[in-house]
Amino acid sequence: MKLGILKTDAVRPEWVPEFGEYPDMFTALLGREDPALEFVVYDVEKGEYPADIDEVDAYLMTGSKSSVYEDKEWIARLMGFVRELDARKKKLVGICFGHQMVAQALGGKTEKSTKGWGVGRHTHRFTECPEWHDGGAADFDILVSHQDQVVRNAEGARVLAGSDFCENAVVQIGDHILTFQGHPEFVPGYSREIMEFRRQAIGEEAYDRGMASLSKAAEGDRVARWILDFLQR
């Protein structure tokens, strides 16, 4: 399978030597589960798109420090591309910003949450188990870093998992779109760097709670298997 990664942000230069860019994080995560995967990166923030929507088998949209409701030309163009993918029933996985972009593009709404920042390791719970779920525990732990949240889902969306902090954490549309608010591609070291960098914005209470949460491992590899199962159906 050839997966097109829609890159919507750049990692801070001083962090790249240790953690790589966002597409590197996904190629590492998904490549561990399926070494036969091929990846093509489209830097949509810089206007890079496939010449033909079918030149890859499926797409994955990364997270971003930008907000989907910002008035930026590249965000507006990406919103149109999401609508095209949906109309063509092309497989798409959205992560964090990608999760919010799908909602915003397809009739939903994203805004800054009154609950503040979600950082560190959060637990989300499935309320229904889709076909691609492994049949294991309904709860799963995932690293998160977001202030924005989906407050109204896209038309026809199924909310599969959430928490008290984030009600719309895993959402599916038809058989072709799957989105996660969390970051399966993050490793604890990267989560820690982001929290240190944004400490003042996050606030001490959320910072302390987020840092303490890293003492237990998240389940990024489990989420990666779900993503691949979904994409290969």
| 166 pLDDT tier (thresholds 50, 70, 90) | very high
What residues form DSSP beta bridges with 161? 126, 170
pLDDT at 35: 97
Q: Which domains does the chain have, with CATH numbers?
A: 2-231 (3.40.50.880)
pTM of the model: 0.98
pLDDT at 139: 98
* CA–CA separation, 96 and 169 (whole Å): 9
Would you give the distance in Å from CA 3 to the centre of its chain?
15
**Continuous segment of H or E residues that includes residue 120:** strand 118-126
pLDDT at 58: 98
* CA–CA separation, 93 and 102 (whole Å): 9
pLDDT at 138: 98
* CA–CA separation, 31 and 34 (whole Å): 5
Question: pLDDT digit string (tens) for 87-121?
Answer: 999 999 999 999 999 999 999 999 999 999 999 99
Torsion of the alpha carbons at 102, 184, 148 and 120, rounded to the nearest 10:
170
Instruction: Report which DSSP code applies to 8.
Output: -
DSSP for 95-114, please give it: ETHHHHHHHHHTT-EEEE-T
DSSP for 168-208, please give it: -SEEEETTTEEEESSBTT--HHHHHHHHHHTHHHH-HHHHH
Would you give the distance in Å from CA 81 to the centre of its chain?
17
Question: pLDDT digit string (tens) for 36-91?
Answer: 999 999 999 999 999 999 999 999 999 999 999 999 999 999 999 999 999 999 99
